[in-house]
């Protein structure tokens, strides 16, 4: 085989060319990703507001966290890994990005695009018990959320709440919260203040089913400050998830359903995590009523309902039993 005498010079030239090409492409990519704080807010305000409608996380908080954690989209984690919230792997089975943080060479989640990061941030907060007290706050209480995130351990910096609140107030991010809250109230103002009365629930369910069938727009309701819809004939968790722009696993999780769950017409389907306590003090069990049915009726997590009433998981109540929804049953 013939080998040119100047092969080393050729290889060196090719290597220099490749390095130069990579540098140009990489620097170009970084240059394209650089943005101002104003550009960041404008680019991501809509997804933050949509996630607020879906999950009840204030848009101001989501934007402020993204701004702080990603340097408004300009950090290496955000540019290369599309991770805007500094969420570490924690059992993540997707793409990863390694960088020094609290420890050396830590594992962070990496995403295909920034929108996926915004949505995973919502799932991260809604599926971990330590963040559940945040969802008992008013939907526009960004100060409470900022302090609650620190208490729950989202960040180690003791000034984290002040930093979030400062970003929100300097940039009037709270206006996005008000817009979303106003939209939700306009859709169903009577449901904002209270849950439907129990003695009219069945009648209301029938009316809602009939009106829903006649309309292409599905009405969204509030129960215990948790958003929900009524299932129609032929609905599945997958079809509702697609209609609402959610993942099917969110519908299954929020409604504590098995993966093979079947929806009945008129059944309540929650679009957000249920809360740890109800808006009423207690409930008297009717004949044949199950703990799951009570948890769905009052938008309370089943596990919380069992704990409040000193009952074992899977245990069912007896007719006439008082089930506590806010306080705890005495031993």
Number of CB atoms found within 10 A of residue 50's CB: 17
pLDDT of res. 8: 53
Which of the two residues, 40 and 12, has the higher pLDDT score?
40
- pLDDT at position 51 is 92
pTM for this model (two decimals): 0.55
Domain 282-324, CATH: 3.10.350.10
Q: What is the pLDDT of residue 206?
A: 36
In this prediction, residue 103 carries a pLDDT of: 79
How many C-beta atoms surround the C-beta of residue 74 within 10 A?
Answer: 15
For the CA atoms of the chain, what is the radius of gyration? 25
CB 291 within 8 A of CB 311: yes
What residue ranges do the domains of the chain occupy? 34-185, 190-270, 282-324
Helix, strand, coil share of the chain (percent; to 5): 50, 10, 40
pLDDT at position 244, please?
82
**How many CB atoms sit inside 10 A of residue 153's CB?**
10
Task: Please name the CATH architecture into which domain 34-185 falls.
Answer: Orthogonal Bundle (1.10)
Mean pLDDT of 286-294: 93
């Amino acid at each position: 085989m013939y080998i040119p005498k100047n092969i080393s010079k050729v290889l060196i030239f090719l290597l220099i060319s490749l390095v130069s090409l990579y540098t140009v492409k990489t620097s170009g990519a970084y240059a394209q990703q650089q943005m101002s704080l104003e550009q960041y807010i404008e680019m991501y305000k809509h997804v933050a507001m949509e996630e607020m409608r879906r999950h009840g996380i204030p848009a101001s908080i989501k934007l402020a966290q993204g701004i702080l954690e990603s340097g408004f989209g300009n950090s290496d984690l955000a540019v290369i890994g599309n991770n805007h919230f500094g969420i570490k792997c924690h059992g993540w089975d997707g793409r990863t990005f390694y960088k020094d943080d609290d420890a050396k060479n830590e594992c962070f989640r990496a995403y295909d695009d920034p929108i996926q990061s915004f949505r995973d941030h919502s799932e991260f907060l809604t599926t971990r018990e330590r963040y559940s007290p945040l969802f008992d706050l008013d939907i526009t209480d960004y100060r409470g959320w900022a302090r609650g995130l620190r208490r729950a351990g989202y960040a180690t910096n003791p000034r984290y709440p002040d930093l979030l609140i400062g970003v929100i107030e300097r940039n009037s991010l709270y206006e996005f919260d008000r817009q979303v809250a106003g939209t939700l109230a306009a859709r169903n103002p009577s449901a904002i203040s209270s849950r439907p009365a129990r003695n009219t629930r069945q009648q209301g369910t029938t009316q809602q089913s009939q009106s829903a069938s006649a309309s292409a727009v599905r009405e969204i309701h509030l129960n215990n400050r948790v958003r929900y819809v009524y299932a129609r004939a032929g609905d599945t968790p997958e079809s509702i998830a697609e209609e609402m722009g959610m993942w099917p696993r969110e519908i299954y999780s929020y409604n504590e359903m098995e993966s093979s769950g079947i929806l009945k017409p008129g059944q309540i389907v929650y679009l957000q995590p249920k809360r740890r306590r109800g808006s009423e003090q207690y409930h008297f069990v009717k004949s044949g009523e199950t703990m799951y049915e009570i948890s769905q009726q009052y938008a309370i997590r089943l596990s919380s309902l069992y704990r409040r009433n000193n009952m074992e998981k899977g245990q069912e109540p007896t007719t006439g039993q008082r089930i506590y929804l806010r306080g705890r049953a005495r031993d």
